Structure 1
Amino acid sequence: MHKNRVMHVQNIARFRPRWPAAKAGFEKAWLLLALGIVLTQGQGQAAGAEFETCVASLRANAQAQGTTSATLARTLDSVQFDPEIIPLSTNQPEFKTPIWDYLSGLVDQERVDDGRSMMQRHAQAFATAEQRFSVDRAVIAAVWGVESDFGRGFGTRPVIRSLTTLSCAGPRQSYFRSELLAALKIVQNGDIEPSQFNGSWAGAFGHTQFMPSTFLRTAVDLDGDGRRDLINSVPDALGSTAAYLRKGGWTPGLEWGYEVLLPPHYAGPSGRTRKEPLATWAARGLRRMDGAPLSGATPAGLLLPAGPTGPAFLVTRNFEAIYSYNAAESYALAIALLSNRLRGRPGLVAAWPTDDPGLSRAERREVQALLMRQGYDLDGKADGVIGTKSRQAISDFQQRHGLAPNGRASASVLAALRR
């Protein structure tokens, strides 16, 4: 995980969906997507034919930079090309996520309850990380919850295989080659065994999904066993996350921001990075939603993730520290709002500008279960993850019941399924 990390961003950087307007348009869109994947897989196969030559070059470069023959034997001798990686790295998803859908799945009561439980279970590790790096433990916990659902979802792809594939084919090969070199150093240092070194398609791994180069720069051995292990050690993962946020500019004792109420028909300045004193925003008519005074010289920017008719936030430099973890405003807002809930604070007050809200993970599982009851093939999974099969089934259900076939797991779909 770092500023340039490729996870999450494809799914959350754009809030407005581009849904096909009718069934024919929907089918055409999926046909084009399928064609693109087939073509990309063909490119992956071509890259695979030259894979051995590429790996030989990677070995020579790694050895020249200090990677031992023993490490190379453990990592690259048996590495194979992964043809599934290239489509993941080059195809934008067809369905974009509205921010209200994104947040409803990440900041739900289930994750709040799980987070509070984990904060109690690992209270000593949280206390140590907070004391050593002066980062709020609720923010550390929120990152953990969003990144891996508190350790439930690390990713299952071998990191070395993924990074080697991306180093030899697809875009940004030079970037992934540097990440591969970092991954080899991690193995050589003895921090992670190759057999356990699994993560996302892009190479992020562990409880809080660090990229290898970020691990080398930032990871810490909080449990004191002599290894920095983000996969098997919760304390190391929590401490490393706190260390990263502190290096990212976290200021102890400063709130990440506040939900605010805009004056009627507000048309003034906005933007996360346009920071001015809180007193200046108060003079423009903004008020804290919780009724507390809005005053002082603390710089803050006005974040309007859905425009002036949706929830509004004044965000400080600590929001920027969260943003540095993964450069998307929706991601940083999810961390910030979840951290508030983990502290026992209320959730959002203002409503999102939609008449069809998003669903929690429990509600998404209910949608999937009801779809399967009606005969849709979802591989028997009601896991709350709305993937390709779920979206196709939802779109077909919507088409049959007079709803816009946009493939969203939304309140209107759940209500129709319940009827």
Structure 2
Amino acid sequence: MKTFCRTLSLSLALVTGAAAAQQVLPDERFASCMATLRADAPAKGVSTVSFNRLTSGLLPDMTVLEFLDYQPEFRTPIWDYLASLVDEERVADGLAMREKWATTLTAAAERYQVDADTVVAVWGVESNFGRNFGKRPLLTSLGTLSCFGRRQAYFRGEFLSALKILDAGDIAPERLVGSWAGAFGHTQFMPSTFLRLAVDGDGDGRRDLMDSVPDALASTANFLHKAGWRQGEPWGYEVVLPAGFDTSVSGRGDKRPLSQWTVRGVRRADGQPIAASDARAGLLLPAGPRGPAFLVFRNFDVIYGYNAAESYALAIAHLADRLKGGKPFVTPWPTDDAGLSRSERRELQTLLAARGYAIGEIDGMIGANSRQAIQSEQKRLGMAVDGRPGQKLLTTLRAAPTSR
């Protein structure tokens, strides 16, 4: 019995010791990783003195790893994605911002030969016109991602780029906050992109994407210019496919002369003729053959380069068109449960809060609390329990009593 007890005690001690080691391991690994980065910093233009000063007291934030494999551009149904990004509220805000910053936008568009409405659309989608920068300290997020998880080599480059920005004095350390992945400012540049393409739009000698709208708009215009924007050309337009169309020829990268698309019976959804030219366009079917279809040109690829997701590029392109007075898409999305605008999402949150759910701030952002409440209501109503905010749930809750 004593032998058993000693064995049990030893086993428990080993387990306890292993657990304790696991608890301290991240900090030890982070410290070792920082030592490696410190050695690499001078070759990237950051002195050891600056590295030590800017990283003093830096600790990892392991919660950022939860986001590493999640990107809404790829996981969210496109009808949900666009419903919240290109709604009447965002169009109205974009028109107001275009008027407020007209002189700045005109100067940037003329200097870099790009479309001002596309610059405004990037601003609106990336930060809701400066309202949503993200709140995570960049050095903490990028330092953590440099030392843990996937793509460490990529994030190490971004971490050292962030240090270089701070060392140059363009942005104060306490102001450098942003997304979990390291994008920051009005138009959400990654640090390496900032170093390559950010410009001083207000003439104060600094490139400040956090607190200078002129810097952010000019920098975005420069990004589009350097990516190959063709002034005066469209990004694309919605089209209608004939019955029985062979969709094997679709794909953004499979560009063909417009004449080939017209021969196949493709026509513009707005009723205008497709130009009789040999300009090359690809056929984009973001929701398959039953949803909206688009012929996309070189400028769509330029927008895609800002954030490599077709749904993202389509949101930017569509918002820019809406700012020009364009209409919503002609062909509906292939779903019987369409997505919600931000005002509808706020209404859904209000209805859920009235039923006693702890939603938190009614902001139209469907976070963990909102999704849990949605799942509970879906289960109660006999709906598919997926936590998705859709028109069916909103319509049902509007008509139902508020008691749970």
- With normalisation by structure 1, the TM-score equals 0.86
Instruction: Give the Cα separation in 2 of the matches to 1:316 and 1:354.
Output: 27
For residues 195 and 300 of structure 2, what CA distance do their matches in structure 1 show?
A: 24
Letter of the structure 2 residue corresponding to residue 284 of structure 1: R
Equivalent of residue 287 in structure 2, options 306, 323, 333: 306
Q: 1:263 to 1:369 in 2, by over 3 A?
A: same
| Structure 2 counterpart of 1:245, one-letter code | L
Query: Partner of 1:338 in structure 2?
Result: 319
Q: Distance in 2 between matches of 1:224 and 1:347?
A: 38
Task: Decide which moves more: 244-253 or 361-370.
Answer: 244-253
Task: Quote how far apart the aligned CAs of 1:77 are.
Answer: 1.3
Deviations 1:18-58 (A, max 9, x none): xxxxxxxxxxxxxxxxxxxxxxxx97963223222222222
Query: In the superposition, relative to structure 1, how do residues 298 and 179 fare at CA in structure 2: closer, same or farther (>3 Å)?
Result: same
Q: CA 1:99–1:91 in structure 2 vs 1: closer, same or farther (change >3 Å)?
A: closer
- Structure 2 unaligned runs (5+)? 1-20, 400-404
Q: Deviations over 1:359-411 (max 9, x none)?
A: 100000000100110111213x2111111221121121112112222211111
Instruction: Give 1:258's aligned residue.
Output: 237
Query: How many residues end up aligned between the 2 structures?
Result: 376
Q: Any residues of structure 2 matched to 1:148-163 within 5 Å, and which?
A: 148-163=127-142
Residue in 2 aligned with 1:189? 168
Cα separation, 2, equivalents of 1:88 and 1:96: 12
2:34 is aligned to 55
Q: Distance between the aligned counterparts of 1:128 and 1:403, measured in 2?
A: 52
The change in CA–CA distance for 1:45 and 1:306 in structure 2 (over 3 A counts) is: farther
Larger RCO, structures 1/2 (Cα 8 Å, 6+ apart): 1
- CA-to-partner distance for each residue in 1:293-315, whole Å, 9 max, x for gaps? 11211110000111111100000
CA distance in 1, matches of 2:70, 2:287: 25
Write the distance in 2 (CA, Å) between the matches of 1:248 and 1:239: 14
Alpha-carbon distance in structure 1 between the residues aligned to 2:204 and 2:372: 48
**Matching residue of 1:328:** 309
- After TM superposition, give the deviation of residue 91 of structure 1 in Å: 6.1
**Among candidates 328, 333, 337, match of residue 347 of structure 1:** 328
State the match for 1:417 in structure 2: 397
Is the counterpart of residue 176 in structure 1 residue 185 in structure 2? no
| Residue 227 in structure 1 maps to residue 206 in structure 2 | yes
Q: Which residue of 2 aligns with 1:399?
A: 379
1:75/1:301 CA distance change after superposition, 3 Å: same
| 1:177-227 residue CA offsets vs partner (Å, 9 max, x unmatched) | 111111111112111111111111111111011111111111111111111
- Mapped to 2, the partners of 1:92 and 1:356 lie a distance apart of 22
Match of 1:271 in 2: 251
Q: In structure 2, what residue type is equivalent to 1:299?
A: R
Asked if the contact 1:133/1:242 (under 8 Å) is kept, the reply is: yes
Measure the CA separation in 1 of the matches of 2:71 and 2:342. 23
Q: Which moved more, 1:74-83 or 1:116-125?
A: 74-83
Read off the aligned partner of 1:167 and give its amino acid letter: S
Shift of 1:92: 7.4
Q: How far apart are 1:120 and its partner, in Å?
A: 0.7
Q: Name 2:106's counterpart in structure 1.
A: 127
Q: What is the TM-score with the length of structure 2 in the denominator? A: 0.90
Q: Structure 1 99/65 Cα, relative in aligned 2: closer, same or farther at 3 Å?
A: closer
Offset, 1:107: 0.4
Shift of 1:69: 4.5
**Letter paired with 2:344:** E
> Are the counterparts in 2 of residues 44 and 169 from structure 1 also a CA contact under 8 Å?
no
1:113 Cα offset (Å): 0.4
- How far apart, CA to CA, are the structure 2 residues paired with 1:227 and 1:418? 51
* CA distances 1:70-117 after superposition (whole Å, capped 9, x unpaired): 522431112121121222225678x93110000000000000000110
Counterpart code for 1:175 = Y
Match of 2:348 in 1: 367
CA contact (8 A) 1:154 1:209 kept: yes
CA RMSD, Structure 1 to Structure 2 (Å) = 1.7
Comparing 315-324 with 237-246, which one deviates more in the overlay? 237-246
SS in 1 for 2:305: helix
Given the superposition, is the C-alpha separation of residues 45 and 155 from structure 1 closer, same or farther in structure 2, using an over 3 Å criterion? Answer: farther
Structure 2 residue aligned with 1:316: 297
Aligned to 1:199: 178
Q: Which runs of 4+ in 1 moved over 3 A?
A: 42-45, 63-66, 90-93
When Rg is computed on C-alpha atoms for both structures, the one with the higher figure is 2
Please list the CA deviations of residues 334-357 of structure 1 after superposition, one character each: whole Å capped at 9, or x if unmatched: 001000001111121110011111
1:9 alignment partner in structure 2: none
Give 2:51's aligned residue. 72
Partner of 2:264: 284
- The percentage of aligned residue pairs carrying the same residue is 56
Distance of 2:168 and 2:23 partners within structure 1: 32
- Distance in 1 (CA, whole Å) between partners of 2:122 and 2:44 is 33
Aligned counterparts of 2:239 and 2:172: Cα–Cα separation in 1: 48
- The 8 Å contact of residues 38 and 48 in structure 2, kept in 1 or not, is answered as no
